[in-house]
Amino acid sequence: MNTKLPPLDVVTLGESMALFAAEQPAPLAEVRHFTKRLAGAETNVAIGLSRLGLRVGWISRLGADSFGDFVQRTVAGEGVDCSQLVIDPARPTGFMLKTLSPDGADPQVEYYRKGSAASAMQVAQLDESYLLSARHLHATGIFAALAPNTFEYCEHSMQRARAAGRSVSFDPNLRPSLWASQAQMIAGINRLARTASWVMPGIAEGRLLTGRDSPEDIAAHYLDQGAQVVVIKLGAEGAYYETRAGEAGHVAGVKVPKVVDTVGAGDGFAAGLISAQLEGLAWPAALERANWIGAQAIQVRGDMEGLPYRHQLGSVMKRQTSSL
């Protein structure tokens, strides 16, 4: 593998899949027409960061099949470095189906990812020099949930990055269907969260994971566990943040005329937060950007299609946030 690359801003790791999005509102069994798109929390974040001008790398495995070719072409076409992407001739690329929800409600999804190429990733395959060539690592609970070996891969990567002085963000991104039980999911996600610099659960996730109700109490739980910063996503209400240094506050959300597709909002939020922090913005300004990008993502169909480009940040975000 080529490890003599220019330093990266961010590395992320995880599974990306082909997504078949329904073209008409109906149960999946009744849908006849689908549009092929890209799905994957980590690649959504990577693409969002790349569109904002950051240098981003993605570590993963894909099958030697048409879905894998589609995923690789799409991600690389967005300017994300895929030099650590391995093509597995023995295992397939995963895919998923998603309903169309005309009222903006969370869609029904079905996954076909068991035994996928990404689920077979092993710690011994990790190129740590590539991992540590970035200033920041972004990880999610989805990749960790695929198999015991991917949990180990995720945890090891987070530990190595943190030990080397890199910042590490962690989005729980709970997927109960991927875990053997809710208890295992809670224990596993909280174990990973202890390794992260920034923990960013949604409010419902935070309540389930900690047994605490308020954003302040959820943040206190993760700060006590070792996080430097905790950001609680509050949906339309915006976000709450608290730092180990004692800074805390609520940043209001961005109103949108119509919610089209909720999937990908949290990934857009993560891209906004990470990019702003790596650029040296203060936490309130970083959350303003994160809220704004998350709001853009839910106004179009597709998981990453609504993520903005760098030139869109200035005037559009300024106009939007000044009306809060």
In this structure, the strands spanning 56-63 and 85-88 are parallel
DSSP 253: -
> Annotated catalytic, 267?
yes
Cα 82 from Cα 60, distance rounded (Å): 8
Cβ neighbours of residue 249 under 8 Å, at least 6 residues apart?
A: 240, 241, 283, 284
Q: Which among 302, 14, 4 is positioned nearest to 153, based on CA atoms?
A: 14
Measured between alpha carbons, how far is residue 179 from residues 61, 147, 170, 188 in Å?
A: 21, 9, 18, 9
The torsion angle over the Cα atoms of residues 145, 16, 306 and 293, rounded to 10 degrees, is 40
Q: What element of type H or E holds 215? A: helix 215-224
The Cβ of residue 254 has, within 10 Å, a number of other Cβ atoms equal to 21
Contacts of 95 (CB under 8 A, 6+ apart): 17, 18, 19, 20, 67, 112, 113
d(CA 2, CA 321): 42
Residues 6+ apart with CB under 8 A from 29: none
**Which SS3 state, helix, strand or coil, does residue 242 take?**
strand
Instruction: Please pick, among 65, 88, 267, 303, the residue that the annotation labels catalytic.
Output: 267
Torsion of CA 81, 86, 92, 98, to 10 degrees: -20
Active site positions, annotated: 267
